[in-house]
Amino acid sequence: MAFATRQFVRAASSDAATAAAKKLLIKHVTIIGGGLMGAGIAQVAAASGHTVVLVDQSDEILKKSTKGIEESLKRVIKKKFADKPEAGAEFIQKTLKNLTTSTDAASVVHSTDLVIEAIVENLEVKNKLFQTLDKFAPEHTIFASNTSSLQITKMANATTRQDRFGGLHFFNPVPMMKLVEVIKTPMTSQKTFESLVDFSKAVGKSPVSCKDTPGFIVNRLLVPYMMEAVRLFERGDASKEDIDVAMKLGAGYPMGPFELLDYVGLDTSKYIIDGWHSLEPNNPLFAPSPLLNKLVEEKKLGKKTGEGFYKYK
């Protein structure tokens, strides 16, 4: 019996070693989209020793992205290397050495291990991008989307590599936020999933796993919470100010739901809830809000426009 047990343990260990050997060690990363999210992902990937190419439509956008990364790195070293300025300067130099930029995605994916898409939240635009890159990327390359609200499965189906496709949802600001949601579709292979988890850990994040369900974990809980706060206000049950104070002092949240809505952007929140409502029209959690729709129609989108639920100077 003991012999059989030893044989089983050895076999299990061998199987685990074989599975580990099959995982892709991600060294070269291509990030599409030089906005806040794309630049943030590029920064943490380059800082952790990956070779990174950041892609966007123009050199002007990429110069802005690179400048933003440099400024962010300076803030990082003030904390990380407070007593070692020389080590901090070396850290910035090494990170930037790992980072290059390009305006031609198709020409730079030929040697990449991982493509992370962080462009506009539009399924048609994303699918068109992935269809194009699918023709030029090597067979082993994993594709991932940083979407916060769209179905990963629909994007994967636009390519011929459904088993090498998953979600990597980082949070803003990427250098500060420790969480990454790793999304596995029904077609995502275990090898791909484990490679994405390992990459998330390699860039210093704490990965959590979720199926391809609307909003994944965080937004699936957060967006309905914010929408219910709006409905509470719409019904006249409480003022938006008191709702925000209640959630900060009573639940310990750093921001109230209306403050958070203004920070995220009312157009973004409306886009997410409208998309979910189209998928599950009978789900009361995903019901649209007349007040939110009105504010978006009036271009009162939150902090970025100077007014949303609150006014900003």
Q: From the annotation, which residues make up the binding site for CoA?
A: 72, 79, 148
* Identified catalytic residue from 65, 181, 200, 259: 181
* Identified catalytic residue from 65, 146, 148, 269: 148
250 contacts: CB under 8 Å, gap ≥ 6: none
The answer to whether the CB of 118 falls within 8 A of the CB of 38 is yes
Known catalytic residue at 277:
no
CA triple 221-225-230, angle to 5 deg: 155
* Identified catalytic residue from 145, 219, 269, 289: 219
Q: Rounded to an integer, what distance in angstroms lies between the CA atom of residue 20 and that of residue 22?
A: 5
Q: Which residues are annotated as a binding site?
A: 33-38, 56, 72, 79, 121, 126, 148, 172, 304
Q: Which residues are annotated as a binding site for NAD(+)?
A: 33-38, 56, 121, 126, 148, 172, 304
* Identified catalytic residue from 145, 169, 195, 289: 169
Known catalytic residue at 219:
yes
Known catalytic residue at 169:
yes
Q: What is the 3-state secondary structure (H, E, C) of 69-106?
A: HHHHHHHHHHHHCCCCHHHHHHHHHHHHHCEEEECCHH
**SS3 assignment, position 53:** strand
Q: Rounded to an integer, what distance in angstroms lies between the CA atom of residue 75 and that of residue 78?
A: 5
Peptide linkage before 173 cis (omega within 30 of 0): yes
Known catalytic residue at 148:
yes
Instruction: Report, as residue numbers or ranges, the catalytic residues.
Output: 148, 169, 181, 219
